[in-house]
Structure 1
Amino acid sequence: MDSKELGIVIVFYNPTRENINAAIKLSEKHSLVIVDNSEINGSYHIPRAKIIFLEGNQGIATALNIGIKDLINDAYKYALLLDQDSEPEDFLILSLLDYIRESPEKVCLVSPAYYDKAIERKAEFILCKDNCIERQPAEGNLPISASYVITSGSMLKLSTLEKIGLMKDDLFIDFVDIEWCLRARYFGYEILGLPWLTMTHEIGGEPVRIARKKYVNHSPIRHYYYFRNVFLLLRLKYIHPQWKKHEMLKLLPRFIVYAFFTKNRLNHIKAMITGIKDGVLGYSGKKR
């Protein structure tokens, strides 16, 4: 493999020893850029990786952009984007690379299917159509066209950023991947899910259990960004109208779940209400 072909961007935030060891393992075979969003610089060392300390949390979008721009400046062609707790097998990385190498010019991103450990199921690929949102099972041996995928595990064709642009910094966290993917689709690019490849991932913390169903759960501050950023994305003309409709319909049920079935309910309620207020007023960036 050309040493300047693929670079991996990992965003750190208060990484554990396990996260650091996983990055060390990856760096033995791949070029690695680690962007550390932690409030305090870590004392770890990864000999074969480039580490960029931001000296304070600047948000997932900004951290990803810094790592991506570093790869572009070094003339890499593709970027694999990872969360700190993602541990892709080498086979998966090379399979994504082989596929995106041979993909048509308009394919900007490919992604494996992912198994969500928190809710114990394999996630579907989502496609926004004119009259509905279609959930496509991640099955089979053919690529599946998707409107958006999660950041971690996705492989990006860096040349397409010239037209699409980078991640939207002022979202800070939550919907950063969805906004970018929907923008890419608006510009005529294609996003492909590769269902024969699977990466295990965990979204959020301990899920909320109601009867026999599990719901993805986050901290109050994440719920602030979730509710705020829904309203910020509603303002954007390139966000698919079916996504807007779907998210608005989910807001009240989500509010009820997090308000009545989580620990520290009052904190969740305050965070969600503040997020809605700030989103309606158009406030963006890091929570004030």
Structure 2
Amino acid sequence: MPSTPADVVAVAVTYRPDEAAIGEVLGRAAAQVRALVVLDNATPDADGAHWTERIRLPDGVDVERSATNAGLGAAYNRAAAIAGERGARFVLLLDQDSLLEPGCVDALLRHADLRAARGPLGAVGPTFVDARSGETAPFVRFGFPLNRKFDAPAGGDVDVDFLISSGSLIPLEALDAAGPFDEGLFIDSVDMEWCFRAKRAGLQLVGVADARMLHTIGDELVELPGGATMFVHSPLRLYMMTRNRVALWRRRGTPGIWTAQDVPRMLLKLARMTAFAAPRIPNARAMLRGARDGWRGRQGPPPAARR
């Protein structure tokens, strides 16, 4: 029997969302699945009310508020638990800035069924378009000296080594096979690390051409000499990104080919963030501190969030 939206519970993880945009994000998702739950990661109240009380939520959307910001890994694991409690076969993970195009979930389900007929499925993910630049992000297979990047053929899908978490449709049985998300990573590389384990468990990761999603990468875009552009993150995010990537380099289960191409990539990122992205000195310090802490195996929230 073909999978349908009735088999899907979507969980949108939020933290201080853009209140002007979150309503449409939730409305588009709710229209394509059986149920949608907002899992708010300890967004503080403002003007005496939580953001969910200041905007009009789509009908039937439930809100679960976490007392503490436990990070994305913990939120994704709670999302899977919510989907299981509601009798779903799939969980659809969503960030607060990810806007599904009409028919996105139907396309994901169609290709999930096609691929499940071939072998165990880890996840299917949409083609995503950066909401600011309009650039379509390619799918990725790991390679050396560079990763291989390509688009899925129109109407088709493609095997990949990595899917971003937002927009990923994951069979709950895949989480049993690959294990839960790593809560210690807190934010960045949570999806990367899970994809490593899914592939090791023999699960397929699949990118789908006709499932499309708008998604915002980074805090802003900076134009580089020669006309190229670069996605820029805050020093805090740069710390977390660097810490967790370096931590993954040291893990036994990390593919060596990924580490071999990621080391020079992170060195290039350090150079670019220091040369072209303000605030330059804080950026450099954040990345160097992240590299040190990642090498030492530090986990959990960033230092600023520790009590």
User: Displacement, 1:272?
Assistant: 0.9
Partner of 2:52: 44
In structure 2, the CA distance between the partners of 1:81 and 1:140, relative to structure 1 (3 Å rule), is same
2:80 corresponds to which of 45, 61, 68:
68
Mark the runs of 5 or more structure 2 residues left unpaired by the alignment: none
Distance in 2 (alpha carbons) for counterparts of 1:256 and 1:108: 35
Q: What aligned pairs does 1:158-197 form with structure 2 within 5 A after superposition?
A: 158-197=172-211
Q: What aligned pairs does 1:8-87 form with structure 2 within 5 A after superposition?
A: 8-17=10-19, 18-24=21-27, 26-27=29-30, 30=33, 31-41=35-45, 42-45=50-53, 46=57, 47-87=59-99
Q: What aligned pairs does 1:136-155 form with structure 2 within 5 A after superposition?
A: 136-155=150-169
Partner of 1:275: 290
Partner of 1:244: 259
Distance in 2 (alpha carbons) for counterparts of 1:22 and 1:158: 23
Contact 1:35 1:64 in 2 (8 A): no
Secondary structure in structure 1 of the residue aligned to 2:188: coil
Deviates more, 1:196-205 or 1:228-237: 196-205
User: Displacement, 1:208?
Assistant: 2.3
Distance in 1 (alpha carbons) for counterparts of 2:132 and 2:177: 36
Distance in 2 (alpha carbons) for counterparts of 1:26 and 1:102: 23
Distance in 2 (alpha carbons) for counterparts of 1:209 and 1:174: 24
In structure 2, the CA distance between the partners of 1:260 and 1:107, relative to structure 1 (3 Å rule), is same
Mark the runs of 5 or more structure 1 residues left unpaired by the alignment: none
Distance in 2 (alpha carbons) for counterparts of 1:61 and 1:23: 21
User: Displacement, 1:108?
Assistant: 1.5
Distance in 2 (alpha carbons) for counterparts of 1:22 and 1:29: 12
The two structures, once aligned, show a CA RMSD in angstroms of 2.1
User: Displacement, 1:237?
Assistant: 2.0
2:224 corresponds to which of 210, 232, 235:
210
Distance in 2 (alpha carbons) for counterparts of 1:28 and 1:180: 28
Distance in 2 (alpha carbons) for counterparts of 1:179 and 1:119: 27
User: Displacement, 1:244?
Assistant: 0.6
Secondary structure in structure 1 of the residue aligned to 2:259: helix
Say how many residue pairs are matched: 288
Deviates more, 1:259-268 or 1:19-28: 19-28
Distance in 2 (alpha carbons) for counterparts of 1:131 and 1:269: 24
Partner of 1:116: 130
Identity within the alignment, %: 26
TM-score normalised over the length of structure 1: 0.92
Distance in 2 (alpha carbons) for counterparts of 1:101 and 1:281: 42
Deviates more, 1:21-30 or 1:153-162: 21-30
